[in-house]
A and B are shown apart, each in its own frame.
Chain A
Amino acid sequence: MRAFDVRVQADPFDIADEIAAMSGTGDVGAVVSFTGYCRADKSETGIDGALAALVLEHYPGMAEAEMERLMDEARTRWPLLGARIIHRHGRIVPGEQIVLVVTSSAHRDAAFAAASFLMDWLKTNAPFWKKEERAGGGDWVAAKDSDTDAALRWTKG
């Protein structure tokens, strides 16, 4: 398994396996992981009814390319020993995983910061779109200003 890798897949991922793949070499002192899940609690589109599922659409080819570029940018900012970004596509029901970011470094500061950076930029730059499926219908989730703000806090200068 490569130390730096991005994957877009329909299937769930095994968090323990992905974390284990990043550690076990003597130089890694810190592994940080973030997992994003499909949440059922509130409507972001104004359509009533419980969330049945999110349908994740992506741009094949560009999604992987953009995730690679984000990873390259993270590597220029922090001394990472490994990183992994996995993003699922297709129909995902509440409680299921959507995204995984894992980073490894000699020390925790770099691993924490790089994981946070990758998630923030992933949300605003990687070509994925969520559509909500509810009893009352379906609609596309709108981008949030708070996500844009979170990404911009990493902008240099």
Chain B
Amino acid sequence: MKVLYFAWLRERVGHGEENVSPPEEVRTIADLARWLATLSAGHAHAFENPAVVRAALDHRHAKPDAAIAGVREVAFFPPMTGG
């Protein structure tokens, strides 16, 4: 599964993209965020406050309890500030 990071999450993790193979018990976006946070100090810093992290599954906004089964691309990012 491809995971993308944007804005300060990308800076904290140290890269914008990675391929990961989470264990079977990682079923939702919230599970995945908790698991990713264990990968490095940078990941832990990026996910230290899950309340300010948003996510998308295959280019669509998704809630923390959304299932990630069958998803090709998961993205994590802060609240949007465009426009």
- Do B4 and A142 touch across chains, with their CB atoms under 8 A apart? no
Which of A56, A62, A87 is packed against the most chain B CB atoms within 10 Å?
A: A62
Smallest distance from the beta carbon of B9 to chain A beta carbons, Å?
Answer: 10
Q: Kindly state the separation between the CA atoms of A129 and B80 in the bound complex, as whole angstroms.
A: 6
User: B56 contacts which chain A residues (CB < 8 A)?
Assistant: 59, 62, 127
Spell out B's residues near A (CB within 8 Å): 4, 6-8, 10, 56, 59-61, 75, 77-83
- Do B82 and A143 touch across chains, with their CB atoms under 8 A apart? no
A128 partner, pick from B10, B59, B80, beta carbons under 8 A = B80
Spell out A's residues near B (CB within 8 Å): 36, 56-59, 61-62, 65-66, 87, 98-99, 119, 122-131, 140-143, 147
User: B10 contacts which chain A residues (CB < 8 A)?
Assistant: 57
- Do A59 and B75 touch across chains, with their CB atoms under 8 A apart? yes
Q: Kindly state the separation between the CA atoms of A61 and B2 in the bound complex, as whole angstroms.
A: 14
Smallest distance from the beta carbon of A116 to chain B beta carbons, Å?
Answer: 12
Given that A59-B77, A129-B77 are known contacts, is A99 also in contact with B82, CB under 8 Å in the complex?
Answer: yes
Smallest distance from the beta carbon of A108 to chain B beta carbons, Å?
Answer: 22
Q: Kindly state the separation between the CA atoms of A61 and B7 in the bound complex, as whole angstroms.
A: 16
